[in-house]
Amino acid sequence: MTKLIFSCINLTVLLLLHYCESNVEQRASATKSPLTSLVVVENVDGVEAGSDEQEQSSVPDSEGHLEVVQPSDVWQTLKPGQAVPAGSHVKLNLQTGQQEVRLGEEQLKYWTQDHREREKTYVFSPNELKRAMKKIKEDMKMADKDTEKRGSMTTKFHSLEELKKDIAQLDLLVETDFQIIKRLLEQLNSSLSTTEQKLHILHELEYLVHQVDNGQTLCTLGGFQLILKCLNSSDVKLQESSASVLGSALASNPVVQVRAVESGALQTLLTLLATTHPQQVKKKVLFALASLLRHFPYAQSHFLSHGGLQVLSELFRADEGGVLRTRIVTMLYDMISEKELISQAEQKTVHDPSHDKLVRQYAEVSLKGDLLENGWCSLVPQQLKSSEHDYREKTLRALLVMAPVCLDQYRSDDFLLESLISLGDHYHGMVQAERIMGEDDGYFSEIVELIDALEVQIKR
């Protein structure tokens, strides 16, 4: 009987314990403690911590942090200050008096170790939140300052419409070359222009008249008379600059060449060469004269009739440096070779009225008598004394084209024969040096060919 009573008591105690345990679980899930804290936990099932499904009492630590316990499939004891994720199963152990937690039934269905490793928990202390808010305020202030700065910068610049109005008020015009040349000639003709200003104007004109159209525009606007006026100036710099403008305008421009002869430019150039002037002026004048005579038999005929070869011969004898001599020799070579080329072309081409006219014009250019009369057959060989290879080359070419006229003088000129022998030996050695360097047809080979060709002409 006693045993039966004792068994009934034990059964009653067990039932009471089970009832208390169930009641505690229901209260834990249905009620909220005054110390309940909201903890946000990112988990893959999409259930946000702090929802109505499960909230658990917790006590923050001394720094305000809440330690979040990650439950598993076994019961774990909760310590004071710990919080649990939503959906967790929490109970009160009556034997120990402590709370325990494990995964809820829904979580246990898919919970794995990889899932637990991917779970991330973000916990922020109040101090961290204060610092974050302070930085946000500072960033907002900086943004406001940048906006004000941009606003002040925009006030410094005009809008597109304002710029258009300003440009329209300036009434800017794009000048054509014709307008520029006209303006420059007006300034050149002005009595108020200083010498420095005129030099600048002439420099600008020299650049412009390289173009054929601009050279003709210079003639149309009466610029030739102004250029010739500067040529006759007593200022050396003006003479030099105006001769450069004239030479640039005449180069390969038949219209300007005709206008120059008609305006008396040829006589002016010959006068400057025949009178006392600095070498730099005569160099530019020779440049202008060569531009006038090149490929223009009408001007060449006038040059000869005005004693042009005599003027050049006197200038050749007076020039000791050789710079002017080379320019003169080159000019003679151009005149003689042009006439020879026209004569050769006459025999090969069919009847052409324009070509026939050109042949008749060159026929009037009688160089042979003037070359012999002014002693050019003995003057040109003197340029072989120069130590410059370029000067020697141009002299040899001139001697070759003059050979039909000067052959008898060449054969009696001991200096020329000795110079050819000496130069032949010198340049043959230089050709050998070129071939050693791998240059079979070098520059010095051409000079040797000229020497050999001239020797052949003399020894005939």
| Domain of residue 237, CATH code | 1.25.10.10
Could you read off the pLDDT of 199-253 as tens digits, one per residue? 999 999 999 999 999 999 999 999 989 999 999 999 999 999 999 999 999 999 9
Rounded to the nearest 10°, the torsion over CA 192, 197, 198, 200 is: -160
Tell me, yes or no, whether 363 lies in a domain.
Answer: yes
Mean pLDDT is lowest, of 33-37, 88-92, 112-116, 451-455, for: 33-37
Provide the domain count of the chain: 1
Q: Is the pLDDT of residue 296 over 50?
A: yes
Q: Is residue 302 part of a domain?
A: yes
343 is a domain residue: yes
| In a domain? residue 252 | yes
CA–CA distance, 123 with 125 (Å, rounded to integer): 7
CB 202 within 8 A of CB 244: yes
How far apart are the C-alpha atoms of 309 and 8, rounded to whole Å? 157
Domain of 223 in residue numbering reads as 177-377
Average pLDDT, the chain: 80
pTM: 0.62
Specify if 291 maps to a domain: yes
Q: Using one digit for the tens of pLDDT, what is the confidence trace for 303-354?
A: 999 999 999 999 999 987 778 999 999 999 999 999 888 877 766 555 677 7
Kindly state whether residue 370 falls inside one of the protein's structural domains.
yes
Q: What pLDDT was estimated at residue 75?
A: 86
The DSSP element (H or E) to which 173 belongs, if any, is none
Is 341 inside any structural domain?
A: yes
**Residue that has been written with the tokens 């200096």 in this structure:** 415
Q: Are 350 and 418 in contact (CB under 8 A)?
A: no
Q: Is 99 helix (H, G, I), strand (E, B) or coil?
A: strand
Element (H, E) at 77: strand 76-77
* DSSP 8-state code for residue 186: H
Mean pLDDT confidence for 43-63: 41
| DSSP for residue 36 | B
Is 448:420 a contact under the CB 8 Å cutoff? no
* 321 part of a folded domain: yes
